[in-house]
Chains A and B, each alone.
Chain A
Amino acid sequence: KQEVTQIPAALSVPEGENLVLNCSFTDSAIYNLQWFRQDPGKGLTSLLLIQSSQREQTSGRLNASLDKSSGRSTLYIAASQPGDSATYLCAVTSGAGSYQLTFGKGTKLSVIP
Chain B
Amino acid sequence: NAGVTQTPKFQVLKTGQSMTLQCAQDMNHNSMYWYRQDPGMGLRLIYYSASEGTTDKGEVPNGYNVSRLNKREFSLRLESAAPSQTSVYFCASSADWGYYNEQFFGPGTRLTVL
Residues of chain A touching chain B, judged by Cβ–Cβ distance below 8 Å, are: 4, 31-32, 34, 36, 42-46, 49, 51-52, 89, 91, 93, 99-101, 103-106
Shortest C-beta distance, B74 to chain A (Å), equals 15
- Residues on A with C-beta less than 8 A from B101 are 32, 93, 99, 101
- Residues on B with C-beta less than 8 A from A100 are 45, 48, 58-59
Total B residues in contact with A, Cβ cutoff 8 Å = 24
Interface centre among A34, A52, A91, A101 (most CB of B within 10 A): A101
* Cβ-based interface call for B42 (8 A): yes
Measured between alpha carbons, how far is A49 from B95 in the docked complex, in Å?
14
Please report the number of residue pairs spanning A and B whose Cβ atoms sit closer than 8 angstroms: 55
- Residues on A with C-beta less than 8 A from B58 are 100
A–B pairs, 9, beta carbons within 8 Å: A31-B99, A32-B101, A36-B105, A44-B43, A52-B99, A89-B42, A101-B101, A105-B41, A106-B42
Measured between alpha carbons, how far is A91 from B92 in the docked complex, in Å?
14
A interface footprint on B68-96 (CB within 8 Å = 1, 0 otherwise): 00000000000000000000001010000
Shortest Cβ distance from A48 into B: residue: B102
Given A42-B108, A43-B107, do A93 and B45 touch, yes or no (CB 8 Å)? no
* Cβ-based interface call for B98 (8 A): yes
Known: A43-B90, A105-B41. 11 other contacts (CB 8 A): A31-B99, A32-B100, A34-B102, A42-B108, A43-B105, A43-B108, A46-B105, A51-B99, A103-B44, A104-B42, A106-B42
* Cβ-based interface call for B103 (8 A): yes
